[in-house]
Structure 1
């Protein structure tokens, strides 16, 4: 996997999006990349009477265009202010203002520009952001096909210790393991975590499989953690509390039978339980 050179941060001027911008600044510093920002400006038609005193209405396109232009100028100033406050000058990339909702506008934008990582602030509790008709981070993880770094509460992002949760399934999240190798090349120790939720297996059964997996991935600087716990999230959080990683890597799925903006997925639950940034890769 090539270095992360282009990061994209959606900004809606909430404290959550500011947290994402701060985290992106640290990642871009580490990987010598550029941070681009995007704001979605949904279409709001201006409706006026067709004739004076007439109850019928029509969209006044001229007024609409003038209103949109004023809003774009206002948003552009605010975005530049955010970038000046939270981004190092040499890391500042492009500013995008998209006249659409995040749900449909993000896909169109990603068709036009090259992005290696999306960095998005999200609430760390069940009371999710309802901007753009749903949680920003959840929609991007589902739709973009690009790794998404979810930051629930900004703190210094350390890449010295990175945790990756694995279930040893045959459906390997290849790009996540590429990310492991990339982070290892930048000095990280990779902590592989398996949560044993069944009494049918013990550590002696799992450890050889974990060791074989790490060997196949050609990761040299690593630790293996096997936790017996009936709850996967609880097991992962025990390791998080023990080693205090600076980043958690997880996979999630895009299957219509499984998804409701990945509600109920393990990745979503971990994001809600921790303030550690979680990088999610779609399988």
Structure 2
């Protein structure tokens, strides 16, 4: 039998991450697993070259934003009964997701995918794809507009 004790949900606070979070919460409930919610704070200069000529907000602003979003990412009513761990780190998303998964001995990573076009994928790469290829454990990818598992309506007697 498969034992899943720790599930990692890396989030960039996007719609695909929200869809993946719903799966991760349900899986954590089903398996009685600890749920790890991780945000990697990427250096804005990496993806916003315009900051080269402007001053960046202080590092603490990014950290406070991450902490606030992580604390509120899962609704309070959905947190009930979950063993939830939140963590943020400065770094490179795919590298730090893999490092966290290995260091915490994670059993499953649930990651959202953006479903970019082929051209955008070639230019930007895909954190989810890199995680899938290099992860130390199984990875479940979730698309926000993809097939959703929905409980069928029960007939009223």
Q: Specify the TM-score bucket, using the shorter chain as the normaliser.
A: 0.7 to 0.9
- 1:90 and 2:81 matched: yes
In the alignment, structure 1 segments of 5+ residues that lack a partner are: 46-62, 159-283
Q: Which residue of 2 aligns with 1:32?
A: 32
Number of residue pairs matched by the alignment? 139
Q: How far has the Cα of 1:43 moved from its partner?
A: 3.1
Write the distance in 2 (CA, Å) between the matches of 1:128 and 1:38: 28
Cα deviations by residue, 1:196-217 (Å, 9 ceiling, x for unpaired): xxxxxxxxxxxxxxxxxxxxxx
Q: CA separation in 1, counterparts of 2:108 and 2:127?
A: 15
Aligned residue in 1 for 2:155: none
Q: How does 1:209-224 map to 2 (within 5 A)?
A: none
- Kindly indicate whether the alpha-carbon contact (under 8 Å) linking 1:23 and 1:157 is maintained by their aligned counterparts in 2: no
Q: How far off its partner does 1:123 sit? A: 3.2
- Equivalent residue for 1:14? 14
The answer (yes or no) to whether the contact 1:29–1:91 under 8 Å persists in 2 is: yes
TM-score (norm 2): 0.74
Contact 1:26 1:157 in 2 (8 A): no
Work out whether residues 22 and 87 of structure 1, in 8 Å CA contact, stay in contact via their aligned partners in 2.
no
In the alignment, is the contact (CA less than 8 A) between 1:20 and 1:121 conserved in 2? yes
Please give the alpha-carbon distance, in whole angstroms, between the structure 2 residues aligned to 1:117 and 1:123. Answer: 19
TM-score relative to the length of structure 1: 0.43
Cα distance change of structure 1 residues 25 and 71 upon mapping to structure 2, 3 Å threshold:
same
Conserved 8 A contact 1:25-1:86: no
Match of residue 114 from structure 1:
105
CA contact (8 A) 1:9 1:37 kept: yes
Distance change >3 Å, CA 13–CA 120, structure 1 → 2? same
Q: Which has the larger radius of gyration?
A: 1
State the structure with bigger RCO (CA 8 A, min sep 6), 1 or 2.
Answer: 2
Q: 1:128 to 1:29 in 2, by over 3 A?
A: farther
- Cα separation, partners in 2 of 1:135 and 1:85, compared to 1, 3 Å: farther
